Amino acid sequence: TAILNIGKNAILIILSQVKPGFMRKIKFDKSRLYYQVETLVFGKAIERAINPERIIVGLFKTNSNIKSKYFSYLKKFSCPILKMKYESAELTKISINILLASTITSTNLLAEVCEKVSADWQEVVPALQLDERIGKKSYLKPGLGISGGNIERDIFSVREIIKNNDRPVSIINAFEKNSDYMKSWVYRVLNKNRILNKNSNICILGLSYKENTDSTKNSPTISLLKKIKNNPIKIYDPKAILKDNYKNCLQVKNMLSAIKNTNLIILMTPWNEFKNINKYFNFIKKKSVIIDPYRLIDFKYLKKRSFEYFTLGRQEI
């Protein structure tokens, strides 16, 4: 529809995520057709649109020129502009997410190893960040698997490409398998330590799949709710809304309302607001259990409390 109504001299820029080979099949003047790699991060969309790290543009040929009007617009941003042919740009987007998936998977695996050998992942991380091959911005915070849909979609795409070219897909399958395993981390903690019982009154802090978004796509919290059906659960999230009907769940409007009269508190999303949970410790029953996979709570606030505490990357306190 867009192609049928576009002006004679207008250019067409595709930002949607596409598979390699898509752009070249479009029946449109290739000198006016571009693929710009979109690197949206949920919760930081405007910030990244205004201050991109780099701009990646796919063209019919690598040495083709970018039309002056489009290039003038791109030059307004003070970042590198990378030109490449369509297929390279299409694969670049997928490659970014696959490498992120590999870092997330490795981080989660090593964090669990820490729990087994009495190491502390938070002590390991600074040493890794000072290695220039890894860097300060690497995904080194363990979490509850890969969610949100974007990275999962690229895992699926690259697996299909690999299969069609008779290459082994074991490493790609491992990303998915580890992600599913980590999404069940909280439930495994509950079972292993026999925490959940008929007297458990549960508070869940966090519904969205990550902080600073209201998206619950593939959210670990949703997975957990499907497994806990017989205990009362109060849920609080600053933005996300529980859309499905769970008879044992009540969504409340603030953190204090969620915490009151509960004895099992689970921090499922690393919202900054939840780092201040220590302000409400006096409302938490003695000998309550706190499960904090993202280690949002500062240990110094736990020392004089009788809570049982579980987190990723170190043994229980």
Q: Is the dihedral angle over the CA atoms 86, 150, 97, 178 positive or is it negative?
A: negative
Residue ranges, comma separated, of all CATH 3.40.50.720 domains in the chain are 2-89, 186-310
pLDDT digits (tens, 9 = 90+) for 52-84: 899 999 999 988 889 988 999 999 999 999 999
Q: How confident is the model at residue 109 (pLDDT cuts 50, 70, 90)?
A: very high
Question: 10 near 34, Cβ under 8 Å?
Answer: no
Confidence (pLDDT) at 1:
62
Question: What is the per-residue pLDDT across 21-31, written as a single tens digit (0 to 9) for each?
Answer: 999 999 999 99
pLDDT over threshold 90, residue 41: no
CATH 3.40.50.720 fits 186-310, yes or no: yes
Q: What pLDDT does residue 248 have?
A: 94
Closest CA to 17 of 216, 137, 158, 205: 158
Q: What pLDDT is recorded for position 39?
A: 76
- The domain 2-89 having CATH identifier 3.40.50.720: the answer here is yes
Residue ranges of the chain that CATH labels 1.10.1040.10 = 92-183
Nearest partner of 264 among 227, 294, 292, 289, judged by Cα: 289
- Taking residues 146-162, what's their average pLDDT? 88
pLDDT at residue 77, as a whole number: 92
pLDDT, mean over the chain: 91
Alpha-helix residue ranges (DSSP H) falling in the chain: 2-5, 22-25, 45-50, 68-74, 86-117, 121-129, 150-164, 170-183, 185-192, 220-225, 255-259
Q: Side by side, which strands form the sheet with 264-267?
A: 249-251, 233-236, 202-205, 264-267, 289-291, 308-310
The whole-number pLDDT of residue 114 equals 94
Q: Does domain 92-183 have CATH number 3.40.50.1820?
A: no
Confidence of residue 286 (pLDDT cuts 50, 70, 90): confident
Tokens linked to 43:
């919760």
